Structure 1
Amino acid sequence: MPHCCCPKQLCGQSDEDGAHDLPVIKGTVVVHRTKGRSKPGKYVVLQLSSIAQLHQSTGSGKLSREARLKDRKKTKHGKTKTLTYRVSFRVEPSFGVPGAVLVENGHRHEFFLSSLTLEMGDSRRIHFDCNSWVYPLSQTKAHRVFFSNTSYLPSQTPEALRKLRVEELESLRGDGEGERKKWERIYDYDLYNDLGDPDKGPSHARIVLGGSPAYPYPRRGRTGRPPTDTDVHTESRPGILDLDIYVPPDERFSPKKLFEFIKVSAHAIVHFLVPELKSLLEKDHANFQSFQQMMEDLYSEGRHRSMETWVVDHLSNCLPHAVLHEAARESKKSTIMFPGCQTNICGIAEDKMAWRSDEEFAREMLSGLNPAVIRRLDVFPPKSTTGVISSVRAFHIEKNLDSLTLEEAMEEGRIFILDHHDYLLPFLRRINADGVCVYASRTLLFLRNDQTLKPIAIELSLPSDELEEINRVFIPAKDGIQGALWQLAKAHVAVNDSGHHQLISHWLRTHAVVEPFIIATRRQLSAMHPVHRLLEPHFKDTMQINALARLVLLNAGGVLEKTMFPRKCALELSSIIYKDWRFHEQALPADLLKRGMAYEDPDKPSGVQLLFDDYPYAADGLEIWCTIKRWISGFCSVFYLCDEDVTTDVEIQAWWGEIRTVAHGDKTEEDWYTLTTLSSLVEALTTLIWIASALHAAVNFGQYGYAGFPANRPIHCRRFIPEEGTGEFAEFMRDPDKYFMAMLPDRFTTTLGLALIEVLSMHTSDELYLGQRASLDWTDNEKVVRLFGQFKAELVEAERKIKGRNSMGNLKNRHGPAKIPYTLLYPDTSNEGGEGPGITGRGIPNSVSA
């Protein structure tokens, strides 16, 4: 039988004669139930640490007598299955208020500790939000420390907690040596040197990202795995069978989230996430033959069920057992299909061809998946960073400016550009040598009087042998061959935008940039620091999801390289774009000003006025931005009374310094502002929370709604646009739609990409949304509680305003021809408890967790 093996020097004080005469503090411990794991029960030892009484020999707070879990009951917290235990702590009469709890797991298994709540004799409750895995003492050789829900700036820390505060932070930083074990809670940085696998051959080698001027990158969490045999600069890769990649215990999925991850992964597998299926599909036509066939094949019931069963039968050597078991269950269902008309993807339930219209093509630049790229054009014709001038000329576009001259349209600020040219062109030779056909593109648009955008020209570019550009300009046409060519040009623009969205807007600008903030926060801000407590929900599951992305999505030969057009250049390309990333420009008002989509207006709460009101992402985003900022401003003012309180906070200054010099260490000092005022702290925290919550929601959870119909947002193209006089052009003229379908990815790749975005678009049932916390007792500060209640009320009001805008018929960009209302920035305040029913296309989770 397992037993408590804790050394007495770790356990501290033990029961002594007369202990039963001491006062008792009673409490409740909540543990998540974990399938396949025995219960921790009496083998867990807990001790409270006082904030009032110092232990003379240790210099830390006096400890209670040891206490153990007892009286286990099966319970539920929301939809989460839990176990509730009673615990009783005997303390000295002068013990005072507990500020920390020390936990030792003498059991043979780890367990997920949700919370401890103490009932004090004066009817007061003291709560400890834990939400972490606690590993056996035989592995950790140390207790776990959890602090109560009282927040202290470093200078205000009670004397009895000072040593514990410092020691806890020191232990979290580690020594930067050795390979991390799953039970270790150590936060350190590393380069992106774990994407390649050169031991498999040169084609699997990848450039190390980060740590050099040529390839800057945000840092990731260090795992310390040994280098590969072939290249000492590349870290060896973990075994995929166990999804075994280190993240600290506090960053790991809860048991419920882990179960749901396995379930949705299995769901994706039976949707052809297996290369072995490719040969079977090629026998059953490699291409979709028509738009109608694409819809029927992807969304009809009973699709290739026997094939999927065959695949599951051959996966025992390449899938974790838990995923394989769930995949087998999925494959036996009578209906295996992608969600189709019930989610109205691309409006196909209303109008099967709405996605092809110019209006919808342009509208999605303002309210689609990638709405923060379009910008106002300041100089015509557009000029690249190398000085090369675009081939688009006034005669191409003037007839589409609604009777305005080009000069008048430019003067009124009514010409816009979606620019996927400069960053992409240097990579095209390598990309197109890898089996795809991709251009660099510029798309010009005109703002009409009704505030809709009209595409007026598309320029597609390729590098030539003379180190110049080969440019083709396409102008709008409704019918005939010119109309069909225009559709092909729009598809190539959509390919560029789709790759930029997934790689830059989604991965780089939310997932990748947030991870080093998490590491810096854990290393430099104590868990009892108010800013740590503020940021805690906005970091949930991010390091785990990023680790899994590096394992199966971003790696050499991973899903992203197999589907998206950048192929092997993908992460290298994102590194080049990171060179121009500036943290302060990620604030929504600053971003809008930089892109010329707004102008400064000090009378507005956000400080900016939109250039035109019917910009759904920006209008709704500013509503959410201002709500977040008011909450952060109120929160910080509770703890910081003046600017000096910010500059003298040693932890917050160390945090900001580490972010600038290590976490995002490839950026220069000029890329950051100094954290010397209360207002600058509010701006920094608002920007970080905006990135982790609303920005991520805007670019992630609408993926299935807009890209779920692959023709609307192709992930790459297999053919260029044919030139007149060629055999390809003759083929195109015979059947333009068939040529279009042959230009798109094959059925296997299309379905693989679709399975990925289906998984990414899902909300999980344990999701916590903006304005929600895992516990009502996350803080004991009454002012903060009131401010948080006000924040929630303001989110309700923000959602009401957004719904009101969606109901206004004159705001045409909020629905468009596809009849898809813009809901991606609904806070979804009605969803209390985080039920998160699958693909909803709305709701702002607190964190980057998908």
Structure 2
Amino acid sequence: MGVSKIASVDVIPKINEQFPSDDTLFLKFASSDLDSDGKEKALIEGVAKIHKKSDQKYNYVAKIEVPEGFGEIGAVIVELKENSTERFIDTIFIKNLGGSTIEPGETDGLSGMIRRIYTYLVVLFAIIRLVLESVTRCIKSLFRAPPVQQGSTTTGALGSPLNANCSTSETPVTFSCNSWIQPKNLIPDQRRIFFSTKSYLPGKTPAGLLKLRKEDLANLRGEKADGTTDKNERKAFERIYDYDVYNDLGDPDIDPEWTRPVLGGSDEYPYPRRCRTGRPHTTLDRSSEKRVEGDFYVPRDEAFSEVKQKMFPPNAGKKNKLGTNPFPNFTEVDLMFRDGIEIPPSSHDILKFNIIATLNSSDQPAPPSVQPDIIQPDSTKLKFPPPEALKRDKFLWLNMRINANAREILINAGGIIESTFSARGYCMEFSSLVYKKEWQFDTQALPEDLIRRGMAERDDKAPHGLKLAIKDYPFANDGLILWEALVEWMTEYVNHYYPDDKAIKNDKELEAWWNEIKEKGHPDKKNEAGWPTLETPKDLIQIVSTIAWVGCGHHSAVNFIQYAHAGYFPSRPSIARINMPTEDFDIIPEKFINNPESVMLEAFPSIAQASTVAQTMLILSAHSPDEEYIGKKIEPAWAEDPMIAKAFDKFKMKLDKLEKTIDQRNENSELKNRRGVGLVPYEVLKPTSGFGVTGKGVPYSVST
């Protein structure tokens, strides 16, 4: 006899999106076990209908019948109606039919109450029956099989596991999806597969899930059933991950002046790889891809949320049209942060803001530093919140979607960087040169980075095993605490799943992951020094700690403090438009002697350049309202494992302690480099933050 269960699906709508009342999701559940013939068991099908809704979430439910001997549900395939709109599936729960469940379409009133009472009674008797059957099975199993250790399993006649706890059929199953689902007509040859939150090493993956897991990985790689790889131009709704060189920064078909070298794939211009888009080649340069007016492709799940995307300006489509007029005097510079500035019509598309549209679309108030009356996105006037450095002393001062946005409007030929920084069209070539001469994986770890830059030397007697060249070095002092917290968290996690060297060497999927990082992510440097071997748990801990540090601590330290330190451009101008007079008084121009202010303003960025840089830094320095910070949200798969959950709690406590330590250090009047005259308090490595421009907060980023 089978067991009735409820599949509950949470779906998050887009802003102001309404789903049809008769909307449905098609669910197919797979067993973790094979049948007695060694084949996958037939899928359990269910149709989920809308049960209830709120402003933030729709809940769908389906009643399914799990046959006796089916085993534990380990995967689900989700399908949408053809020609429907995409859906963001948050979580799927499978639980026993319980008294709190209301059938879809049930109404209130007397008839509804009678139905609920009837349902409660039916469920009550069903639970009693299940308990009796479970006890009976437990008693029988004691006489049919030898005792097994807690948590171990043996296979019954139908191929289903018999747990030492007798039955797993009553155990709820969770699928943490967090993914967009497309209608079947858009991607007819791919099934959307999700796996439960139980964690398995590849060698211990249940037999019933092996083919499904292989199929899902093939879908992510764009591999077809015939063994070939899909190399077509990517579409926004797809979820294919592939690599390519940076060959889309230039735009030679529009103007030969905007031809740029391909970064990556050559000895002259080595570079890491970007996400492949597969766009057609340009006419004049067959090695470069054409640029498009819309967003550059990233896999659908890597796209920003609607709230975060609106923080970034659309593809301006215009290059090198920034004005050249200087500020007439320093008073006007200050007024830019008080009264705002008029934007020339030709620059309006480049300079207009989208931050307030974002903040106003959420239910949260705008942060104090960016209020709706300060920046008007559709007007020709901009006003910037005073950077923290300006408040103190005016003369003291990127995930895959970020990467794609940068290629669209920031680092492209004639884009913001080339238009506002001194290196102009050579900016990205310089970054390639630095990558060629300086970058190697092992020196990205914080301790090695400090040593390489001459900021520390090893000393076993010193805190963290390093003696700093500058004792009061806020980035190092705070960063090393964060680094050690990361290493400890990674150590406990890795050692739990990989207790010895053999476990590492037997994990072919782990080996393939590390090879992909080297050979596909950094093929121009795959044979150079600096790549650790991956043979022991210690090796893996160092590798994942380094990756985590670069994506959280290092990225935060250089990104979220930009506006506070450089928003007031006289402190850190991005460009010098004329040569500054030298200290040789014999050749100082008379103009400088008579009016030094005007000469300085001619050298400083123009009004349009300063506004563009300030806008860009303000956007990049801002946290989205839906930002996720390290240590704040435990993954469902981690929460299911007591050992991992405990390790995460320790990690979280260390981060909480770091927050307090940073506050204490900033209050120490002897630490002049943290809060001296004109300096912004160094809070950038405090793990959490509110949204907006705060100069603190450490989320994970995959764009670095």
8 Å CA contact 1:30, 1:115 repeated in 2: yes
Alpha-carbon distance between aligned partners in 2 of 1:85 and 1:110, rounded to the nearest angstrom: 15
Alpha-carbon distance between aligned partners in 1 of 2:651 and 2:255, rounded to the nearest angstrom: 54
Alpha-carbon distance between aligned partners in 2 of 1:22 and 1:123, rounded to the nearest angstrom: 12
8 Å CA contact 1:218, 1:666 repeated in 2: yes
In the other structure, the counterpart of 1:732 is: 592
1:52 match: secondary structure: coil
Alpha-carbon distance between aligned partners in 2 of 1:764 and 1:801, rounded to the nearest angstrom: 25
Which residue among 38, 41, 46 is the counterpart of 2:27? Answer: 46
**Cα shift at 1:251:** 1.3
8 Å CA contact 1:176, 1:188 repeated in 2: no
In the other structure, the counterpart of 1:238 is: 292
Q: 1:105 to 1:56 in 2, by over 3 A?
A: farther
**Map of 1:52-451 to 2, 5 A cutoff?**
52-54=33-35, 59-60=39-40, 62-75=42-55, 81-107=56-82, 108-120=84-96, 124-141=171-188, 142-174=190-222, 175-239=229-293, 242-243=294-295, 245-253=296-304, 257-265=305-313, 278=322, 286-296=325-335, 298-301=336-339, 303-304=341-342, 311=348, 330-331=376-377, 336-340=382-386, 344-346=387-389, 348-353=390-395, 355=396
**Cα shift at 1:176:** 4.7
2:627 is the counterpart of 1:770: no
Q: 1:613 to 1:24 in 2, by over 3 A?
A: farther
Q: 1:604 to 1:649 in 2, by over 3 A?
A: farther
**Cα shift at 1:61:** 5.1
Alpha-carbon distance between aligned partners in 2 of 1:128 and 1:300, rounded to the nearest angstrom: 50
Q: 1:609 to 1:26 in 2, by over 3 A?
A: farther
Q: 1:45 to 1:774 in 2, by over 3 A?
A: farther
Q: Percent identity of the aligned residues? A: 35
**Cα shift at 1:156:** 0.8
**Cα shift at 1:603:** 5.0
* Number of residue pairs matched by the alignment: 606
2:627 match: secondary structure: coil
In the other structure, the counterpart of 2:606 is: 746
Alpha-carbon distance between aligned partners in 1 of 2:191 and 2:391, rounded to the nearest angstrom: 57
Q: 1:224 to 1:60 in 2, by over 3 A?
A: farther
8 Å CA contact 1:302, 1:334 repeated in 2: no
Which residue among 22, 27, 34 is the counterpart of 2:14? Answer: 34
2:698 is the counterpart of 1:844: yes
In the other structure, the counterpart of 1:591 is: 449
2:411 match: secondary structure: coil
Residue deviations 1:129-156 (CA, integer Å, cap 9, x gap):
2122111100111320111111111111
Residue deviations 1:57-99 (CA, integer Å, cap 9, x gap):
9x43542123323213115xxxxx2222223332212222221
Which residue among 408, 427, 430 is the counterpart of 1:551? Answer: 408
**Once structures 1 and 2 are overlaid, which stretch shifts more, 621-630 or 642-651?**
642-651
Unpaired runs of 5+ in structure 2?
A: 98-168, 223-228, 362-371
TM-score, scaled relative to structure 1: 0.67
Alpha-carbon distance between aligned partners in 2 of 1:90 and 1:696, rounded to the nearest angstrom: 49
In the other structure, the counterpart of 2:440 is: 582
**Cα shift at 1:663:** 1.4
8 Å CA contact 2:5, 2:65 repeated in 1: yes
Residue deviations 1:480-522 (CA, integer Å, cap 9, x gap):
xxxxxxxxxxxxxxxxxxxxxxxxxxxxxxx5xxxxxxxxxxx
Alpha-carbon distance between aligned partners in 2 of 1:815 and 1:314, rounded to the nearest angstrom: 33
Q: 1:229 to 1:612 in 2, by over 3 A?
A: closer
Alpha-carbon distance between aligned partners in 2 of 1:733 and 1:303, rounded to the nearest angstrom: 29
**Cα shift at 1:22:** 4.2
Alpha-carbon distance between aligned partners in 2 of 1:55 and 1:258, rounded to the nearest angstrom: 48
1:671 match: secondary structure: coil
Q: Which amino acid aligns with 1:196?
A: G
**Once structures 1 and 2 are overlaid, which stretch shifts more, 682-691 or 142-151?**
142-151
2:696 match: secondary structure: coil
Residue deviations 1:716-766 (CA, integer Å, cap 9, x gap):
101223244677532222233332222101111111111111110100011
Q: Which amino acid aligns with 1:733?
A: I
In the other structure, the counterpart of 1:425 is: none
**Cα shift at 1:617:** 0.3
Alpha-carbon distance between aligned partners in 2 of 1:166 and 1:811, rounded to the nearest angstrom: 55
Alpha-carbon distance between aligned partners in 2 of 1:639 and 1:813, rounded to the nearest angstrom: 42
Alpha-carbon distance between aligned partners in 2 of 1:664 and 1:785, rounded to the nearest angstrom: 34
TM-score, scaled relative to structure 2: 0.80
Alpha-carbon distance between aligned partners in 2 of 1:125 and 1:637, rounded to the nearest angstrom: 27
Unpaired runs of 5+ in structure 1?
A: 1-20, 76-80, 361-510, 512-541
Alpha-carbon distance between aligned partners in 2 of 1:153 and 1:167, rounded to the nearest angstrom: 17
Alpha-carbon distance between aligned partners in 2 of 1:669 and 1:596, rounded to the nearest angstrom: 22
Aligned-pair Cα RMSD in Å: 3.1
2:618 is the counterpart of 1:758: yes
Alpha-carbon distance between aligned partners in 1 of 2:282 and 2:218, rounded to the nearest angstrom: 30
Q: Which amino acid aligns with 1:159?
A: A
Q: 1:849 to 1:206 in 2, by over 3 A?
A: closer
Alpha-carbon distance between aligned partners in 2 of 1:589 and 1:276, rounded to the nearest angstrom: 41
2:575 is the counterpart of 1:716: yes
Q: Which has the higher contact order (CA 8 A, sep 6+)?
A: 1
2:54 match: secondary structure: strand
Q: 1:656 to 1:705 in 2, by over 3 A?
A: same
In the other structure, the counterpart of 1:364 is: none
